[in-house]
Amino acid sequence: MIGSKAILFACILPGLAAAAPLAAAAQDSRRAISAQQDGAANPRRAQLEQQLRQRTGEMVKRRLGLNDDQMAKLQSTNLSFEKQRIALMMRERETRQALRAEIVAGEGANQAKVGQLLDESIQLQRQRLDLLQSEQLELGKFLSPVQRARYFGIQNEMRKRAQELRAGQDMRRRPGLRAPIAGGLNR
């Protein structure tokens, strides 16, 4: 039986297979790395993950009406941008955690540090938008505007689903965990 970690990772993998970079799912990239390492140690899991990547890629190809050349370019583009996206999300997560630690300190919070962390958070959001814009420009080289719009919708669907699965997994693992705050400060 596949563990909950494998199910979560199975939802993250489509980004690597050309379905979606899954920004929301990769926010906790340590989970993804751990799941990847677990997959290497479990051949059955690795096989299931490969099947999921393949099926997801086929679904994207079919829904977007891609030819083989477009699909190969999409996979290559996703790989390139996914590395950048994961690095950015790790920095965002570290910033959120540091900000939360300061806020939890209450009266003892370091005002200068909170200000610096807020500025950093805004800068990281700008970088995220710059990355999205760069990705869209690259996709525009081989996808029509309609294909790009459909792909953007697929990405959002998959991010939402992965986030829902992750939130459900967190609730099962830690029953006292409160619901996420918009912006993710309680992670």
Which tens digit of pLDDT belongs to each residue from 109-145? 999 999 999 999 999 999 999 999 999 999 999 999 9
Alpha carbon separation from 62 to 66, 132, 147 (Å, rounded):
7, 23, 11
Whole-model pTM: value is: 0.64
Alpha carbon separation from 112 to 95, 115, 119, 185 (Å, rounded):
14, 5, 11, 18
Contact 26, 15 (CB under 8 A): yes
| Whether the predicted pLDDT of 72 surpasses 70 | yes
| Whether the predicted pLDDT of 26 surpasses 60 | no
**183, amino acid identity:** G
Contact 85, 47 (CB under 8 A): no
Helical (H) or strand (E) element with 154: helix 145-173
- C-alpha span between 161 and 59 (Å, rounded): 16
pLDDT attached to residue 176: 60
